[in-house]
Amino acid sequence: MEKYIAHILSWLLHPILMPTYALLLFYSQDVYFVLVLPEKLKVALSVMVFINTALLPSLIIWFMARRHLITSIQLVRRSERILPFAFTALAYLTTYFLLRNQDLPPVYPRLILGGAALIIFAAGISLFWKISAHMLALGGMTGLFLVMYFTGFLNTASLFLLMVFLSGLGGFARLSLNMHNPAQVYAGFVAGMIIMAGIFVF
């Protein structure tokens, strides 16, 4: 039962879903950078981000697995992570430049830029060590909402607290499935927080 729950949590908290989740969480807040967007634009932005940062990378990884370029869509082997991560980072950067050229509050393109930075970091560190991409993404989201709260972009710490809780679940899932050791989980979370917070602060 524990393994079953861990598998569900790992898919629900998959790194490529984090930008879409972040947008949906943004939309739940009554703050300026959300209220200035018309509803149709919110939907269009969500669809675009989901396609470019979740669907497209998923299709690329699936194609690579079908062509036997990687052995598993879960990217279990460290050496097999670099190329999928590179393609995913390219998709994120393309999305970032598309959003940056639109008349949007800077929070939105910066969210995607932060995601790209996390993926590039994961690809680089995968050359010599396996870090938890799940915890990088969850740590990134946690750092994002922490900084946004302290800088006044958000008027409540609820999203930060939610991400702390979800990060705990994500860490439990990755350890329960023996996908990572504790060092890889903790390092991923801390690195994700620092990198994403740095993108928003600087």
Predicted confidence (pLDDT) per residue in 111-134, tens digit: 999 999 999 999 999 888 899 999
Rounded average pLDDT over 148-173: 94
Structure tokens at 84: 């999928």
**Per the confidence metrics, is the pTM higher than 0.75?**
yes
Judge whether residue 95 has pLDDT over 80: yes
Residue 143 above 90 pLDDT?
Answer: yes
Q: What is the pLDDT of residue 178?
A: 85
| CB-based contact 195:109 (threshold 8 Å) | no
Residue 188, pLDDT > 80, answer: yes
Q: What are phi and psi of 104, to 5 degrees?
A: -120, 150
Q: How big is the chain by its Cα radius of gyration, in Å?
A: 16
- By the 8 A CB rule, do 95 and 45 touch? no
Q: How many residues does the chain have?
A: 202
Please give the pLDDT value at position 135: 96
Smallest CA-to-CA distance from 23 within 95, 101, 119, 128 is with: 95
Domain boundary assignment for the chain: 2-201
> Which uninterrupted H or E stretch holds 167?
helix 158-176
Question: What CA dihedral angle connects 192, 197, 200 and 202, to 10 degrees?
Answer: -110
Mean pLDDT (whole number) for 40-52: 96
pLDDT of 186 reads 95
> Among residues 125, 126, 49, which one has the least CA distance to residue 94?
49
pLDDT reported for residue 6: 87
Quickly state the pLDDT bin for 197 (edges 50, 70, 90): very high
